[in-house]
């Protein structure tokens, strides 16, 4: 026998794999969808992190997924920034879901500046959530957003096409929306736990 | 009454030096006619080389081969004097301009900024940041404070008795006596103010006239002082020029920071803000380049104003090198500080939301940030307006509640203009809802709106002319 090594020091040095990741502390950023909250390891959106939402097409229900969160943030008096949305947000529809539109800033920017604007908003620390539609974002751009979200303690949501699913992503949470047979969310990756194997259905009438 | 005197012994020179990043090179202010040029003021490196005020320029050039000369400009000096008065106005409402000095009444301000040592330190810190050398003294009278500041930097005399003791040993040539008294009295054997104050008044009046007695009364506090109080101007207009030409925008940043800092100082003194100001870059032979800086709300913080100006200046192309820069602010609305929650949950280093918006607008354009507001118009195209105003009235709880229970479905995305819906015919989920309105402004429309599900699974908001289902026009998504 060689040197005797204390087990605790090896555990601390992460030299021993224990088979199960440490339980992520449950955050207080519920998605507003109880079924989805139950499926996610942190009990909601990962705090101060990037969430990537993969879509088969525009308008399949990506806002339906987010509007409960935006309503919660704006009603608490926090600001939400929507950077270069693909369509015009329609205030009557948003307000019907409880969003306070006076707290929603819509930033018009061309694709080149949109990533910069999103990063500035995330980094500022004064926004609760930032929504962005990066068209040419690569791995590095997304990592920048992730770091900015961590710096500013904000929720970052990035919407991308489903074909990007095969690429690796630095996002803490990757969701894919599916419309067949009904609207459901497939968790592709979630930090702090194993992704649930089954898709989480979203009911058509809201949470 | 307690008066603080801020004596500015190097006002003209500091006004020139403060627009330069460093001051290691010898520099002299020059005045006088073309035949008899003399040095008006010299900076420390120049003085170390043997130059002094009042020296002939030719003599100075014989002593030192390389030094920079700047024409002494009395108007610019006056400008700095007024700017510092505007700065002092934030500490007191009674500010008086003396030659090369500013006197402010501080007894009422001590409750807020005091006690005096702390207040004095605050004044000195501000002046050092603004780049002006100074001497400060405190006395029960304005004239006395002015005299004491010339004698002893940092002297604070609180009571009239102490003032008498402090004035007594002052030599007459430092007492700023009116007219010829300052030269005649020492010749008569009167050396200091104490001796002068003990002389019989009748004799003094016969010999020197009433002005000297009136001056002595004001100095010792026996007579009230009548002075013209400084009133801050209603517009801000400050110009800075260089002897050399600046070609790059980056090189403009240091003087710009000074100018904006002066603007912020002035605004703080007026307790106002600025929402729109113009930066003019003057060229040698072309008309000035104007950079208009418009803000969402009245602001007055130097860092924020500087960043907004820099963002706009970065995008500017300079047609020619810049020889002077000018900041003009005419509209000065009242400044309303943004309230912040005591138990703010945001991170400690958070940038205020207004500052973030200004930063985005500086790079993305004036209309980059918009808010949506619902109108009462039932037509989808007119049901919301965009507004640049960030300070919207809060939606009342009642209106939110009525919205939450609305049964008419409304999409969350709207297309800029309706487009034909192609592909296999969709499944109708709800409808029709007829919108037939708009007769009052010519924007008549007659449409049946349906909620449909497309073959891809999207929920769409489509319409068709009444009675012709099938010619679907896509107008929104229930995303």
Using the structure block, give the residue that is written with the tokens 């200004």: B358
Between positions 357 and 376 of B, the ones with CB within 8 A of A are: 357, 359-360, 363-365, 367-374
What 3-state class would DSSP assign to B249? coil
| Tens digits of residue pLDDT in B233-251 | 888 888 888 778 888 888 8
| Residue B28 near residue B59, CB atoms below 8 Å | no
End-to-end CA distance of chain A: 60
pLDDT score for B457: 80
User: Which is more confidently placed, B421 or A206?
Assistant: B421
Burial class (CB within 10 angstroms; exposed 0-12, middle 13-18, buried 19+) of A76: exposed
pLDDT in tens, B283-341: 888 888 888 888 877 888 888 889 888 888 887 888 888 888 888 988 888 877 766 66
Asked whether the predicted pLDDT for residue B392 surpasses 70, the reply is no
Average pLDDT over chain B reads 83
Contacting residues of A for B368, CB less than 8 Å apart? 107-109, 117
| A100 contact B CB<8A | yes
- Minimal C-alpha gap between B474 and chain A (Å): 12
Q: What is the secondary structure of A112-154 as a DSSP string?
A: HHHHHHHHHHHHHS-EEEEEE--SS--HHHHHHHHHHHHHHT-
> pLDDT tens, position by position, for chain A (207 residues)?
567 778 778 777 777 776 655 555 566 788 888 888 888 888 889 888 999 999 988 888 889 889 999 999 999 888 999 999 999 999 888 988 889 988 999 999 888 889 889 998 998 888 999 999 988 878 888 998 999 998 888 999 999 998 888 888 889 999 998 888 788 889 988 887 788 888 888 876 666
* Residue B395 pLDDT exceeds 60: no
pLDDT tens per residue, range B84-105: 888 888 888 888 888 889 999 8
Predicted ipTM of the assembly? 0.83
Q: Would an 8 Å CB–CB cutoff place A194 in contact with chain B?
A: no
Q: Which residue has the tokens 């949501």?
A: A157
Answer whether B49's CB lies under 8 Å from B62's CB: no
Tokens of B209: 């006239």
The Cα of B291 is separated from the nearest Cα of chain A by a number of Å equal to: 22
* Interchain proximity B410–A56, CB inside 8 Å: no
**Residue B28 predicted with pLDDT over 70:** yes
Pairing type for strands A155-161 and A127-132 reads: parallel
Residue B398 pLDDT more than 50? no
Confirm or reject contact between B458 and chain A (CB < 8 A): yes
A58 contacts on B by Cβ (under 8 Å): 413, 458, 477, 479
Q: Where are the beta strands (DSSP E) in chain A?
A: 50-55, 79-83, 88-89, 104-107, 127-132, 155-161, 173-178, 184-190, 200-201
User: Touching check for B295 and chain A: CB below 8 Å?
Assistant: no
Q: Which domains does chain A have, with CATH numbers?
A: 28-201 (3.40.50.300)
Q: A91: which chain B residues are within 8 Å (Cβ-Cβ)?
A: 372-374, 383-384
Q: Is B394 on the interface with A (CB under 8 A)?
A: yes
- B234 close to B332: Cβ distance less than 8 angstroms: yes
Nearest to B368 among A100, A109, A183 (CB): A109
Q: How far apart are CA B229 and CA A41, in angstroms?
A: 69
**Reduced to 3 states, what is the DSSP secondary structure of residue A72?**
helix
Residues of chain B contacting A95 with CB distance shorter than 8 Å:
374, 395, 400, 403
- Cβ contacts of A109 on chain B, cutoff 8 Å: 364, 368
B236-331: in CATH 3.40.140.10: no
Q: Cα B392 to the chain's mean position, in Å? A: 26
Q: Which residues pair with A98 in a beta bridge?
A: none
Domain spans in chain B, listed from the N-terminal domain onward: 3-25+67-220, 236-331, 371-378+381-404, 410-477
Q: How many residues does chain B have?
A: 479
Instruction: Kindly list the residues from chain B whose CB atom is less than 8 angstroms away from the CB atom of residue A94.
Output: 372, 412
Order across the sheet with B274-283: list the strands. Answer: B236-246, B322-331, B274-283, B289-299
**If pLDDT is split at 50, 70 and 90, which confidence band does B397 have?**
very low
- Say if strands A50-55 and A173-178 run parallel, antiparallel, or are unpaired: parallel
How big is the A-B interface in CB pairs under 8 Å?
166
Share of chain B above pLDDT 70, in %: 93
- The per-residue b/e assignment along B179-213, b for 16 or more CB within 10 angstroms, e otherwise, is eebbeebeeeebebbeebbeeeeeebeeebeeebb
Q: Which residues contact B359 (CB under 8 A, 6 or more apart)?
A: A120, B307, B308, B311, B351
């Amino acid at each position: 026998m060689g040197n005797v090594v204390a087990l605790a020091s090896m555990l601390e040095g992460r030299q021993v794999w224990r088979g199960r990741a440490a339980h992520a502390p449950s955050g207080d950023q519920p998605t507003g969808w109880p079924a989805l909250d139950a499926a996610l390891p942190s009990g909601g959106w990962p705090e101060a992190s990037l969430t990537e939402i993969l879509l088969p097409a525009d308008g399949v229900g990506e806002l339906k997924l987010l509007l409960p969160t935006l309503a919660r943030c704006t009603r608490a008096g926090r600001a939400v920034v929507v950077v270069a949305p693909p369509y015009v947000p329609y205030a009557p529809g948003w307000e019907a879901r409880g969003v306070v539109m006076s707290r929603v800033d819509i930033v018009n920017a061309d694709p080149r500046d949109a990533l910069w604007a999103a990063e500035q908003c995330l980094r500022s620390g004064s926004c609760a959530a930032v929504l962005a539609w990066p068209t040419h974002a690569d791995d590095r751009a997304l990592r920048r957003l992730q770091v900015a979200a961590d710096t500013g303690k904000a929720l970052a949501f990035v919407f991308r096409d489903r074909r990007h699913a095969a690429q690796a992503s630095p996002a803490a949470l990757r969701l894919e929306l599916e419309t067949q047979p009904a609207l459901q969310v497939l968790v592709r990756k979630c930090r702090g736990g194993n992704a649930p194997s089954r898709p989480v259905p979203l009911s058509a009438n809201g949470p | 009454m307690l008066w603080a005197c801020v004596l500015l012994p190097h006002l003209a020179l500091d006004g020139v030096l403060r627009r330069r990043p460093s001051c290691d090179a010898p520099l002299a202010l020059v005045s006088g006619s073309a035949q008899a040029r003399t040095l008006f003021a010299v900076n420390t490196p120049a003085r170390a080389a043997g130059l002094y005020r009042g020296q002939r320029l030719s003599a100075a050039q014989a002593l030192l081969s390389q030094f920079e000369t700047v024409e002494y400009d009395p108007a610019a000096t006056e400008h700095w004097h007024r700017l510092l008065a505007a700065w002092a106005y934030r500490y007191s409402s009674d500010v008086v301009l003396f030659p090369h000095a500013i006197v402010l009444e501080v007894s009422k301000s001590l409750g807020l900024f005091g006690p005096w040592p702390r207040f004095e330190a605050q004044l000195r810190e501000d002046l050092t940041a603004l780049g002006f050398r100074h001497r400060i003294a405190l006395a029960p009278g304005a004239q006395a404070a002015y005299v004491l500041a010339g004698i002893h930097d940092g002297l604070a005399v609180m009571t009239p008795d102490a003032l008498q003791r402090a004035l007594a040993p002052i030599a007459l040539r430092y007492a700023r006596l009116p007219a010829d008294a300052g030269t005649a009295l020492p010749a008569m054997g009167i050396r200091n103010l104490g001796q002068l104050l003990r002389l019989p008044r009748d004799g003094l009046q016969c010999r020197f006239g009433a002005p000297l007695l009136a001056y002595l009364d004001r100095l010792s506090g026996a007579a009230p002082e009548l002075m013209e109080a400084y009133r801050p101007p209603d517009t801000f207009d400050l110009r800075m020029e260089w002897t050399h030409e600046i070609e790059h925008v980056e090189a403009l940043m240091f003087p710009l920071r000074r100018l904006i800092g002066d603007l912020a100082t002035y605004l703080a003194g007026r307790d106002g803000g600025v929402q729109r100001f113009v930066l003019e870059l003057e060229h040698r032979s072309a008309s000035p380049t104007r950079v208009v800086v418009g803000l969402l709300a009245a602001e007055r913080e130097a860092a924020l104003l500087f960043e907004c100006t820099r963002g706009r200046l970065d995008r500017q192309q300079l047609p020619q090198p810049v020889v002077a820069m000018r900041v003009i602010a005419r509209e000065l609305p009242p400044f309303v500080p943004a309230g912040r929650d005591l138990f703010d949950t945001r991170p400690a280093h958070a940038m205020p939301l207004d500052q973030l918006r200004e930063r985005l607008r500086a790079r993305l354009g004036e209309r980059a940030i918009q808010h949506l507001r619902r109108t009462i118009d039932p037509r989808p195209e007119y049901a919301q307006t965009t507004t640049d105003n960030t300070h919207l009235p809060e939606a009342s709880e009642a209106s939110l509640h009525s919205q939450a229970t609305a049964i008419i479905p409304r999409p969350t995305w709207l297309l800029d203009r309706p487009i034909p819906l192609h592909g296999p015919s969709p499944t109708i989920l709800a409808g029709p809802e007829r919108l037939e309105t708009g007769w009052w402004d010519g924007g008549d429309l007659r449409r049946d709106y349906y909620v449909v599900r497309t073959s891809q699974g999207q929920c769409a908001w489509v319409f068709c002319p009444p009675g012709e289902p099938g010619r679907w026009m896509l107008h929104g998504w229930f995303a």
